[in-house]
């Protein structure tokens, strides 16, 4: 069984929002809800200022705090490593939102804390999640972390990578090229 992960090369991101628009369209999200966002961070001081763009979403953590606090098992970890969500089991308590250090949950119209699911319908068809397949700059590379011959592992071997907030011990499945 595959153990999925995502490699993000934020150096290539232009901030076009194709990933977040495709995600919202595919998941039929309300206007104020998004599972996939870009953070714009200024670094330096005038006249040597740089803008970093950081794509963010659910990190599908191996040690997911949202799973640990969900009293109804509405949020759970699948065998392939994806942190999933079943709306019918959710009581709307928002414990998962409070537990997530990545601010990756979004309240939908029904006031339930939805999240990125890495497009399981696409994965079943052997396709990439829409955020990855839509990116024209190849910022996102989705793949099997357990397959040493996968493109994601080959690219990770070529670059120094990091994970966001790794000091929290969540063991996120999203890696960033430094």
* Separation between Cα atoms, residue 129 and residue 8, nearest integer Å: 13
Residue 100 has pLDDT above 90, yes or no: yes
How far apart are the C-alpha atoms of 104 and 115, rounded to whole Å?
6
Q: In what order do the strands lie in the sheet with 4-8?
A: 140-144, 4-8, 174-177, 161-162
Residue whose entry in the numeric block shows the structure tokens 């628009």: 21
Q: Is the pLDDT of residue 159 over 90?
A: yes
Locate the domains of the chain by residue range. Answer: 4-177
DSSP state of 141: E
- The Cβ of residue 63 has, within 10 Å, a number of other Cβ atoms equal to 12
Residue 94 confidence (pLDDT): 96
DSSP string over 49-117? EEEEEEEEE----TT-HHHHH-TTSSEEE-TTS-EEE-GGG-----HHHHH-TT---EE-TTS-EE---
The mean pLDDT of 173-177, rounded to a whole number, is 97
Q: DSSP 3-state assignment of 134? A: helix
At 166, list the tokens: 């790794």
Peptide bond into 47 cis (omega under 30): yes
**pLDDT for 126:** 92
pLDDT at 97 over 90: yes
Residue 140 has pLDDT above 90, yes or no: yes
Burial string for 14-33 (b: 16+ CB within 10 Å, else e) reads eeebbbbebbbebbebeeee
Average pLDDT over residues 116-141: 95
Could you say which of 3.30.70.20, 3.20.20.60, 3.40.50.11400, 3.30.1490.20 is the CATH number of the domain covering 4-177? 3.30.70.20
Tell me the pLDDT tens digit for each residue of 57-79: 999 999 999 999 999 999 999 99
**pTM, 2 dp:** 0.92
Contact between 51 and 40 under an 8 Å Cβ cutoff? The reply is yes
What is the phi/psi pair of residue 15, to 5°? 80, 25
Query: pLDDT band at residue 148, thresholds of 50, 70 and 90?
Result: very high
- Does position 32 have pLDDT exceeding 90, yes or no? no
């Amino acid at each position: 069984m595959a153990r999925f992960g995502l490699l993000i090369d934020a150096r290539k991101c232009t901030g076009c929002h194709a990933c977040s628009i495709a995600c919202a369209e595919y998941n039929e999200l309300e206007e104020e809800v998004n599972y996939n966002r870009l953070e714009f961070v200024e670094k330096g001081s005038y006249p040597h200022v740089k803008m970093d763009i950081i794509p963010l979403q659910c990190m599908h953590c191996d040690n997911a705090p949202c799973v640990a606090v969900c009293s109804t098992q509405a949020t759970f970890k699948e065998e392939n490593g994806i942190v999933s969500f079943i709306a019918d089991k959710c009581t709307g308590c928002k414990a998962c939102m409070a537990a997530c250090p990545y601010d990756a949950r979004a309240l939908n119209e029904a006031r339930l804390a939805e999240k990125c699911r890495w497009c399981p319908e696409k994965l079943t068809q052997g396709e990439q999640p829409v955020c990855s397949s839509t990116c024209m700059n190849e910022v996102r590379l989705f793949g099997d972390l357990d397959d040493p011959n996968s493109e994601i592992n080959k690219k990770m071997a070529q670059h120094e990578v990091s994970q966001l907030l790794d000091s929290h011990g969540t063991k996120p499945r999203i890696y960033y090229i430094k």
